Amino acid sequence: MSTLADRLVGSAVLRARSYEEVEADGHANWQAVGIVILSSLAAAFGTGVKSVSGIAAILIVTLATWVIWVLLTLFIGRQLLPGNQTRADFGQVLRTTGFSSTPGILRALGILPIVGPAIFLAATIWMLLSFVVAVQHALDYDNTRRAFTVCLLGWAIHAVVLFGFVMTAV
């Protein structure tokens, strides 16, 4: 079994073995949650958020939207677009996608002058790509295309629901 550091690096470099190991380790749930929190804190720092209420809001929204996205991914991946080998549960998708947030830790560098915004954007795109790889392994797909489709559909539904929620709250 790999160390947490090995898993973080493996997830960041999109190593299939790392995602498979995390998927199978039911004890890694809190590690996954911690990575999402750390990535969210990095994003808050990287965008210059300094207030406790602002940071708390980012953490709450991030955790809530992550869980919603995991549920959507699980539903779409198991019910609408299952592969021949798809046998995933909530914990498996939660763990793999949590670890896929590892590149988001680099978003803390968004605070740097001149190059910061580019680093922030690159880390965010890297996170999205690693999310696709995480979904591919959690749902046991034999290709990335199906995982990308599941993620795209989940993101679109998630965006519409979140946008609708925000618009009704305003």
- Are 135 and 54 within 8 A, CB to CB? no
Spatial neighbors of 155 by CB under 8 A, at least 6 apart, are: 69
pLDDT value of residue 72: 93
Q: What value does the mean pLDDT of the chain take?
A: 91
For 74-89, what is the mean pLDDT? 94
Query: Which tokens is 19 given?
Result: 């995602």
Handedness of CA 115, 118, 123, 126 (dihedral sign): negative
Residues of the chain by 3-state class (helix, strand, coil), percent to 5: 80, 0, 20
pLDDT, tens digit, 9 for 90 and up, residues 45-65: 999 988 999 899 889 988 988
What is this structure's pTM?
0.91
Query: What is the Rg, in whole angstroms, of the alpha carbon atoms belonging to the chain?
Result: 16
Handedness of CA 20, 22, 27, 30 (dihedral sign): negative
pLDDT value of residue 170: 46
pLDDT value of residue 58: 87
pLDDT, tens digit, 9 for 90 and up, residues 111-132: 999 999 999 999 999 999 999 9
